[in-house]
């Protein structure tokens, strides 16, 4: 495995998002001096925050899975998650509501979920679920350590017996068709394939290997931190500072000083020149390449994932779970509208998150807080005038939520903020997509933009646009992979996997 040559003693990490915090903590735990430079006033990156009208709003991801990865990061500096962060299981993980009015609560407990499916679609589908769950579990164990959580220097380095095992499990087939082998009810299949949205690919176009995302939430379970999602980067930053990591907030990197193939200092907008032996860059890919003076050698341009419009809403109290999936009748055509035609779907499927279900203090007393996500085209695919269209579209989405949740939903609703692809683009996200690069075959595994660049010896990349990919678990892993590139791999004996009795949350 390619690593930074020599012994880098001082590393500058650019960006205090989850990838940067993960890299910084792992490096600090390995005895390196670390400085983190962050342009915002607080840590978090894409896991952003907004305080408005007495509400503490999470502006980034809302579904937290695989908390053992957070355990591993804290363990790198001799800490425990529970000392910094309270993670609560979300039960049910989701409530799925379909166009015909049927609902299904999605549970990570096998027996509870099988019982719910029996009532929803019959005993045959419940038996199919049990077989699907077994396949997802075997897929996860075949894929996680050997592919997702591993650095590769080239596609040839994947040619191992583990690759044959993954192929035998059907990992290089089609996600939707693979799930259909176990479950024939088309509505029920959506519960185990909608996650392809996070990968930026329609279910009928996605590799079955990405069904591991369905394992993460429907088998391993969903969690929520007390204090909101912002509590995660806050806790990681506190642990990093306790381990000696130095933070420079409200500071932007303006240039990297290079001599030949090595970066030897970082320049900031405050006039600082910070010398370093290596640098970990978690900035957006195009910004990273600009700082490095690098031009991509990929034969075809990278493809951004679809985007999302997000509505932040305050309303009278609601009786709905933490996460609700409101599926429209149009499923395949909605993906075609977004990815193929570049238009907003007329019958969208929505994710409605109610964080106040987990922590009522996130909104004023007697109010609920909602995060409503509608998939939409990115700015490259769609030619939509979002500054003019955004509010009208938000009202359309609110009308859909009212129709699907019932007349009592959204009473006293106040639309606090609408976030559109234009807003994501203003934060420097490629094509206005918060989901970074789509996980097409050409942007998967060793074909995804690498975390080290030829011709530059001591710069390492981390974040959603490099390996292993998009989502909280991959981004946390990307920070550890970056640390491995700097120091060489270090295996922590405290890393846990789901089902280990030593791993528990209350």
DSSP E strand boundaries for 148-198: none
Beta strands across the sheet bearing 262-268:
253-259, 262-268, 273-275
Contacts of 482 (CB under 8 A, 6+ apart): 19, 23, 280, 451, 460, 461, 462
- Give me 159's structure tokens: 């040619």
What's phi and psi for 62, nearest 5 deg? -120, -10
Mind listing the pLDDT tens digit for each residue in 7-66? 999 999 999 999 999 999 999 999 999 999 999 999 999 999 999 999 999 999 999 999
What is the overall mean pLDDT for the chain? 94
Lowest-confidence range among 221-230, 272-281, 329-338?
329-338
pLDDT for the residue numbered 161: 86
pLDDT for the residue numbered 198: 77
Do residues 449 and 61 touch, judged by C-beta distance below 8 A? no
pLDDT band at 494 (very low <50, low <70, confident <90, very high): very low
Do residues 315 and 413 touch, judged by C-beta distance below 8 A? yes
3-state helix, strand and coil shares in percent for the chain, rounded to the nearest 5: 35, 20, 45
pLDDT for the residue numbered 332: 86
- Give me 240's structure tokens: 């990093």
Mind listing the pLDDT tens digit for each residue in 285-304? 999 999 999 999 898 899 99
Residue 497 has pLDDT above 50, yes or no: no
pLDDT for the residue numbered 504: 36
Fold of 10-47+60-89+226-301+442-487: FAD/NAD(P)-binding domain (3.50.50)
Residue 503 has pLDDT above 80, yes or no: no
**Which residues in 453-464 are b (16+ Cβ under 10 Å) and which e?**
beebbbbbbbbb
Residue 493 has pLDDT above 60, yes or no: no
Do residues 190 and 327 touch, judged by C-beta distance below 8 A? yes
pTM for the full model?
0.95
pLDDT for the residue numbered 492: 57
Cα 129–320–231 angle (5° rounding)?
Answer: 90
pLDDT for the residue numbered 344: 97
Tell me whether strands 307-315 and 33-37 are parallel, antiparallel or unpaired. Answer: unpaired
Do residues 223 and 90 touch, judged by C-beta distance below 8 A? yes
- Give me 442's structure tokens: 């050409």
* Number of residues that make up the chain: 506
Residue 46's alpha-carbon distances to 41, 95, 116, 212, in angstroms, are 13, 25, 35, 22
Average pLDDT over residues 370-380: 97
pLDDT for the residue numbered 29: 98
Do residues 199 and 305 touch, judged by C-beta distance below 8 A? yes
Domain ranges of the chain: 10-47+60-89+226-301+442-487, 109-220, 304-436
Q: Annotate 118-132 with DSSP letters as a single string.
A: HHHH-HHHHHHHHHH
Nearest alpha carbon to residue 196 among 70, 103, 310, 331: 331
Beta strands across the sheet bearing 350-353:
103-106, 94-97, 323-326, 350-353, 368-376, 307-315, 414-419
Residue 77 has pLDDT above 90, yes or no: yes
Average pLDDT over residues 104-112: 98
What's phi and psi for 119, nearest 5 deg? -70, -30
What's phi and psi for 29, nearest 5 deg? -65, -20
The position carrying tokens 């003076």 is: 293
Phi-psi region of 213 (alpha: psi -120 to 50; beta: other; left: phi over 0): alpha
**Which residues in 110-133 are b (16+ Cβ under 10 Å) and which e?**
eeebbebbeebbeeebbebbeebb
pLDDT for the residue numbered 505: 43
- Give me 94's structure tokens: 């989701």
Q: For the chain, what percent of residues have pLDDT higher than 90? A: 90
Do residues 78 and 92 touch, judged by C-beta distance below 8 A? no
Q: For the chain, what percent of residues have pLDDT higher than 70? A: 97
Average pLDDT over residues 331-351: 94
Residues β-bridged to residue 304: 437
Residue 207 has pLDDT above 50, yes or no: yes
């Amino acid at each position: 495995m390619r690593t930074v040559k020599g012994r880098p003693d001082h590393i500058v990490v650019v960006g205090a998002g989850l990838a940067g915090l993960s890299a910084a903590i792992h490096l600090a735990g390995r005895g390196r001096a670390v400085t983190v430079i962050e342009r915002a006033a607080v840590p978090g990156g894409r896991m952003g925050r907004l305080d408005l009208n007495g509400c503490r709003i999470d502006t980034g991801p809302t579904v937290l899975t695989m908390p053992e990865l957070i355990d591993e990061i804290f363990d790198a500096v001799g800490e425990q998650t529970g000392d910094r962060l309270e993670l609560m299981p979300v039960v049910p993980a989701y409530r799925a509501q379909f166009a015909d009015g049927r609902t299904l609560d999605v549970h990570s407990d096998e027996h509870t979920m099988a019982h719910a499916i029996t009532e929803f679609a019959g005993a045959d589908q419940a038996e199919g679920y049990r077989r699907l769950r077994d396949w997802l579990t075997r897929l996860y164990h075949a894929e996680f350590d050997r592919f997702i959580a591993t650095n590769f220097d080239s596609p040839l380095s994947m040619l191992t017996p583990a690759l044959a095992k993954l192929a035998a499990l059907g990992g290089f087939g089609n996600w939707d068709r693979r799930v259909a082998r176990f479950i024939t009810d088309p509505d029920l299949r959506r519960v185990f394939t909608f996650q392809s949205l996070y990968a930026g690919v329609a279910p009928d176009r996605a590799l079955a290997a990405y069904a591991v995302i369905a394992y993460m939430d429907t088998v391993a379970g969903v969690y929520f931190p007390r204090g909101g999602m912002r509590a995660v980067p806050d806790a990681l930053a506190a642990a990093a500072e306790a381990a000696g990591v130095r933070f420079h907030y409200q500071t932007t990197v303006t240039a990297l000083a290079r001599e030949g193939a090595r970066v030897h200092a970082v320049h900031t907008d405050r006039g600082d020149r910070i010398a370093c032996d290596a640098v970990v860059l978690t900035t957006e890919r195009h910004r990273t390449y600009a700082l490095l003076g690098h031009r991509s050698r990929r034969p075809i341009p990278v493809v951004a994932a679809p985007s999302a419009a997000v509505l932040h809403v305050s309303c009278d109290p609601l009786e709905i779970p933490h996460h609700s999936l409101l599926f429209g009748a149009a499923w395949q055509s909605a993906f075609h509208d977004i990815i193929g035609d570049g238009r907003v779907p007329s019958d969208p499927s929505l994710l409605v998150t109610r964080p106040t279900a987990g922590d009522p203090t996130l909104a004023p007393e007697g109010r609920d807080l909602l995060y409503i996500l509608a998939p939409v085209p990115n700015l490259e695919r769609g030619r939509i005038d979002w500054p003019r269209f955004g509010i009208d579209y938000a009202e359309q989405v609110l009308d859909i939520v009212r129709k699907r949740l019932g007349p009592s939903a959204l009473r006293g609703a106040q639309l606090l903020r609408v976030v559109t692809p234009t807003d994501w683009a203003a934060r420097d996200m490629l094509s206005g997509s918060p989901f970074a690069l789509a996980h097409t075959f050409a942007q998967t595994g060793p074909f995804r933009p690498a975390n080290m660049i030829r011709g530059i010896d001591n710069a390492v990349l981390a974040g959603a646009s490099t390996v292993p990919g998009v989502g909280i678990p991959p981004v946390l892993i990307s920070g550890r992979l970056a640390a491995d590139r700097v120091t060489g791999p270090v295996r922590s004996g405290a890393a846990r996997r789901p089902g280990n009795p030593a791993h528990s949350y209350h």
